[in-house]
Amino acid sequence: MLELTREQTAALERLHGAGFALVAFPLYASHVGVRKGNCAALLEAVPGGGMKIFGEPSYLVDGNLSVRVRRRGEWWFVWKKQELAATPARLAELEDFRRELDGYLTRKQ
Per-residue pLDDT of the chain (109 residues; tens, 9 = 90+): 578 888 899 899 999 999 999 999 888 888 999 999 999 999 999 887 889 999 999 999 999 999 999 988 999 999 999 999 999 999 999 999 999 999 999 875 5
Is residue 109 in some structural domain?
A: no
Cβ atoms < 10 Å from Cβ of 11: 26
Domain containing 39: what range? Answer: 6-104
State how far the Cα of 26 lies from the Cα of 47, in Å rounded to an integer: 23
Using a cut of 0.85, tell me whether the model's pTM lies above it. Answer: yes
> What's the number of domains the chain is made of?
1
What was the pLDDT predicted at 108?
59
Is residue 30 in some structural domain?
A: yes
Is residue 1 in some structural domain?
A: no
